[in-house]
Amino acid sequence: MERSRLAVLILMIVVAGLLLIGCGSASEPPERAAGSPPLTSPRAGTSPGPRLPNVELVDDPLDVPYVPTPTEVVARMLTMAGVNKNDLLYDLGSGDGRIVITAAREYGARGIGYDLNPKRIKESNENARKAGVENQVKFIQKDLFEANLKGATVVTLYLLPEVNLRLKPKLLRELRPGTRIVSHNYDMGDWKAEAVEQLNVRGTAHYIYFWTVPEKSGADK
């Protein structure tokens, strides 16, 4: 009798252990292989534009780290600038080319992007080809302070505050009066923006600043 009770007790302990192991494995998510992407839900309500791949946020020690502009912000920047098929848009620090490509694809504009990173230039050209606008856009590997801004009617920026301030004299000197400038997140110090908008994207506030290049004074001509 004692042996029967002992056998039943051991069996109960084994069954209980198996049940605990099963519960634990059901409640914990499976481990991801090293280097695999995080599990994310699909984006909802994104603005029209080219479907671009996810990219690194920072991969080179440049003056301006690469942080992609959300497609919703790109769409609003182009709307604020009133981009149309007659425009020549310059994006200074163009990254993967999404602003230039969206302007060409959605509005028929021509565009030029300047970026120092050869990887970004290669990526931009590939994205332009996939979007079918490679004949409307050009990407140049060059320091944005050496960019030739001749003919620009719209200039877009997503730089750092100190870079915007360094760039301001070049913009005012080289751009024609009436040229529209749009900057993501950062202003230009004492050059007050004509319009500022806030856009919330997945819980993050983004700011868009808009200027028009003024008529040159007699001393500046």
Q: Is the dihedral of CA 153, 134, 48, 123 positive or negative?
A: negative
How far is Cα 154 from Cα 90, in angstroms, rounded to an integer?
A: 6
Strand pairing partners for 110?
88
**pLDDT tops 90 at residue 47:** no
Mean residue pLDDT of the chain comes to: 79
**What pLDDT, in 10s, does the model give residues 113-140?**
999 999 999 999 999 999 999 999 999 9
Task: Give all domains of the chain, ordered by start, each with its CATH number.
Answer: 71-212 (3.40.50.150)
- pTM for this one? 0.70
Give the confidence band of 188 by pLDDT, cuts at 50, 70, 90: very high
